[in-house]
Structure 1
Amino acid sequence: MDKSSKIYPHVIPEIEDWPIHKMLADRKNFIKEIDEFTFEKLKELYQKNLPDIIAKTVYLERIRIKEEPWKVDPPNERMFWKKIRRKLIGKSHEMSEEEKKENSEAILRTIIHRYSEEIVSTFRKSTFIFARRFLGLFFNRLLNSAAGRNMKRVFGTKHKISERLLAKGEVEKVRKLIKKGTVVIVPTHSSNLDSILIGYTMDAILGLPSFSYGAGLNLYNTGYTAYFMNRMGTYRVDRRKKNPIYLETLKAMSNLSIQRGTNSLFFPGGTRNRSGELESKLKMGLLGTAMEAQR
């Protein structure tokens, strides 16, 4: 009995026709949509309390810069938040209520746009094709090595990759759904390789177009990693940022990408699950945007 995975042709043969490629080819307009969507959402949520929300954000960001600096952080961060604070406080005591409102909204738009530019990446066909080839070689060597008891297997080709990466189940159904609408996948998260391994399997074995998924901004501290992830549609998630403006911008990006028909992948538990069991406690932050996008 053949236990290897069947290798399927791509549902959408041309990369330029993939939803994620189309969305990020229109990155400028997509970011404008995120900015406006987030702005209206925050106005609805906080109304007259916008100055307080901005002040809280400035406070939290200045603490983050001081206590948790990362190599990947923009060099002008400290100056940016210093200017935002100055604009917020400035001559507010001399402003009318209408002027204060206009000032707060202008500042809010500036902060939202900075976040959306940080979160949204790009998608380069040439980078994706290179990564596809590299990962094929990488996983072939890795899985052959794991199958043997000595390092000679690292350079062998005894097992085909389809014999080691087993993709079973309702494959045909998923492939049909790709043609009909937007697909959201919620796998169990057990290791740091999950996103890459699942993404490669969906592409090389199941023939599915690339999915949108988030990666921690800390992974971008490494130059090579940042280069590839920036160009393969992986949106950036900074878990240090807990302020409502950032969180709403992140959720808006996910919501609008699904509305644009981009297939998405979320880890429902939000963190790694060493047991490999199905998640029973779901974190509905980004996952919840899949439901919101249907409204």
Structure 2
Amino acid sequence: MEASWEELRALEAEVAALRRARSRAPWGDALGAGHQLRSEEGNSSENLKNHIGQLESELAFLSKLTGINITKCSKYTEEITSAEMKEAGIKKVLQKHRLSGHCHMIRFELEFQILEIQNKENSSSVITDLNIIEPTNYPELSEFVSSVEERRDLVLFFQTLHFFVECFEHRMRTFKHFKEKYPGTVHLYEGTSGSSMGIRSTKQPGFECLIVWMIQIDERGKVWPALDLLPQVPEQALELDKNRIIETAPLSFRSLLGVLGIQGTLESLITVFGLPAHA
């Protein structure tokens, strides 16, 4: 998967460069080039058009594979010079980029700077600044975004955003499925895009459990679901629970997740609360 992200960035850059080259091509004719040159430029323009078409097809495939679609891109280039640098044969170029787009349902917007240093022997480039403007309304992403900005790791941001969106959409689909299947028992207090789902018992009024489904991200960008169960029962029921079933319910819930998975565990829990599935 990592190679796909690099290919995506390289293809986007190449398509942009070729489009700029094609847009400049007609000026050569306007400057009075000969018939043979115009003919050669015509063939070159056709080849360029075909090449751009091929690159755009590859870019569309990679966008579909990764879910990343860049809708707007701007670039400003500034050359940093000094007498000492010229004498030493060193050239520094600062590129300022601004990107916006979306990964499925989540939009992103960011700014970053790349410093290119060239000398007589080699050249190198490094991201010197990264500012992620969006997404801002996903609390589970906020800490990770701050970490990525500090490390200026642009590739890691896109990789993690892709897997976060997959996990986020899985949670939404699961909540929506159970709400539609058990409308009287399942309650989504924050809607399908929230991180919790309530299950109420119709047989035992006052008995409810809250499923909290968070999306965890570590510093390396690994994304995984973390689910917990919070029982909410009357005080009297706690006093009568001599076998501590309610107290140990969260631990049993996590054990069940390892056996049945998320879908199977939630289905079993709702069944225990006593409502048959609606047709």
TM-score scaled by length of structure 1: 0.23
Which of the pair is proportionally richer in strand? 2
Which of the pair is proportionally richer in helix? 1
Higher relative contact order (CA 8 A, sep 6+): 1
* Greater Rg over alpha carbons, structure: 2
